[in-house]
Amino acid sequence: MTEARGAVERTPSWDGDRPAVWGALAEFDTPGALLHAAAEVRESGYERFDAHSPFPVHGIERAMRLKRSPVPWFVLVLGLGGAAAGMLLQWWVSTDAYPLVISGKPFFSWPAFVPIMFECGVLGGALGAVFGFLAMARLPRHHHPLFESSRFERMGDDAFFLSIEASDSMFDRQRTPALLSDLGARHVELVELIEPIEPIEPIEPEGAPAERDAAPQGGAA
């Protein structure tokens, strides 16, 4: 969540007396076409857009200039924390809470404590991976305007989509779909908004920190 978010209002779902547009959705045939289109859209200056595919398209994060995922840090921190917690638990129980004399082994038998320490570390790391993923991907999120599009149902099957949100400053009801068509989209549609939502976090332009006000509704008119 960037500071710019505080300045962004939730996109209202009505625009005058007709439903507001959430954004444009373009469907492509092949992963290559999607990759190319995503790069072009990024070059054109759009920041609030996304690509959707049934499997990860190799190279698309580079084309979209997405930042590297911080999930590894979750794993590292929670993993080391888990291992430390495991060792600490065993140490406390064996030396203080319930010390037992077992075949003359010292109370703090660290060789015997390594297996559980290791397992707790792995558990911590695994939880870090999954919670890191959920946090960074902002999931679960069961309601999204894209689910209203019937074509989008093929996202998990064999279709590749590019979506550009209307909250992007460069969005235009005519020009944006036209651009997508020119990039080889098989089908372009404007997706309506059913209820107010938060827009996607923008992909930061190179070199400039998020100082630009993300204008609430660009050119949506």
Helical (H) or strand (E) element with 14 = strand 14-15
Q: What residues have CB less than 8 Å from 24, skipping those under 6 apart? A: 163, 164, 166, 171, 176, 177, 180, 188, 189, 190, 191
Question: Which residue, among 163, 167, 143, has the nearest Cα to 152 in the 3D structure?
Answer: 163
Looking at the Cβ atoms of 162 and 174, the one nearer to another protein is 162
Shortest distance (Å) from residue 194 CB to another protein: 15
By CB under 8 A, residue 60 contacts another protein: yes
- Work out which of 3, 6, 17, 55 binds another protein, going by CB under 8 A: 55
Query: Is residue 213 within 8 Å of residue 3, measured between CB atoms?
Result: no
Could you say which residues in the range 189-218 bind another protein, by CB under 8 A?
200
Could you say which residues in the range 4-23 bind another protein, by CB under 8 A?
none
By CB under 8 A, residue 77 contacts another protein: no
- Residue 104, judged by CB atoms within 10 A of its CB (0-12, 13-18, 19+), counts as exposed
Could you say which residues in the range 95-134 bind another protein, by CB under 8 A?
97-98, 100, 102-105, 109, 111-116, 118-120, 122-123, 125-127, 129-130, 132-134
- Work out which of 35, 83, 170, 179 binds another protein, going by CB under 8 A: 35
